[in-house]
Amino acid sequence: MQNVPQIRSARRVIGARVLVVEDDLLISMDLTAGLTDARAQVVGPCRTAKDAVAFVNEWNISVALLDIRLASETVVPVATRLASRGIPFVFYTGYLDTGEIQEKFPRCKIVYKPASPEILVDAIAEVLGRTAPPPRYIRKRLMLLVIGLVVIVTLVICLH
């Protein structure tokens, strides 16, 4: 995974505690590196559903990134536990047939492997409900509007 500090969406995951559940060691290392570069705090990674459920129960987690298939098991027990605690999650999978997951979790976010760091960070920020800061030109216009309103209010107060 590439460095992501330059990615605009990376600012939206700063400080988020992300549980990574991935059974492939190289992929989990890659995910950990990318999320750490985006200044998120990685919890885990976990390679089994049992370990992941234990992490969900014991740690204060902001969001989770879940591989659907973990060796011979699925991540459904983890997703169910996260949902019951109100913790958002993103599925990250190489399987195209995700109908069963979408039935169980109809409003879930799914990102298909392979995905760029920017896509993963955007997906995590989206489920966290963190919005992107407005572009610079909009901030400048808003600042000018606020200054203009302050001047108008000041003039109105002075004229009365």
| Per-residue confidence (pLDDT) for residue 53, from 0 to 100 | 95
Q: How far is CA 159 from each of CA 8, 14, 147, rounded to the nearest angstrom?
A: 45, 47, 18
| Per-residue confidence (pLDDT) for residue 27, from 0 to 100 | 92
Q: Is the peptide bond before 45 cis (omega within 30 degrees of 0)?
A: yes
| Per-residue confidence (pLDDT) for residue 56, from 0 to 100 | 92
Q: Which CATH superfamily is domain 8-129 in?
A: Response regulator (3.40.50.2300)
| Per-residue confidence (pLDDT) for residue 137, from 0 to 100 | 53
Answer yes or no: are the C-beta atoms of 91 and 98 closer than 8 Å: yes
DSSP 8: G
| Per-residue confidence (pLDDT) for residue 5, from 0 to 100 | 44
| Ordered mean pLDDT values, 10 residues apiece, the chain (160 residues) | 49 85 92 89 92 91 92 91 92 84 86 88 85 54 79 87
Residue 87 phi, psi dihedral angles, 5° rounding? -95, 125
- For the chain, the structural domain boundaries read 8-129, 134-160
Residue by residue, DSSP assigns 101-157 as HHHHSTT-EEEESS--HHHHHHHHHHHHTPPPPPPHHHHHHHHHHHHHHHHHHHHHH
Cβ of 44: how many Cβ atoms within 10 Å? 20
| Per-residue confidence (pLDDT) for residue 11, from 0 to 100 | 60
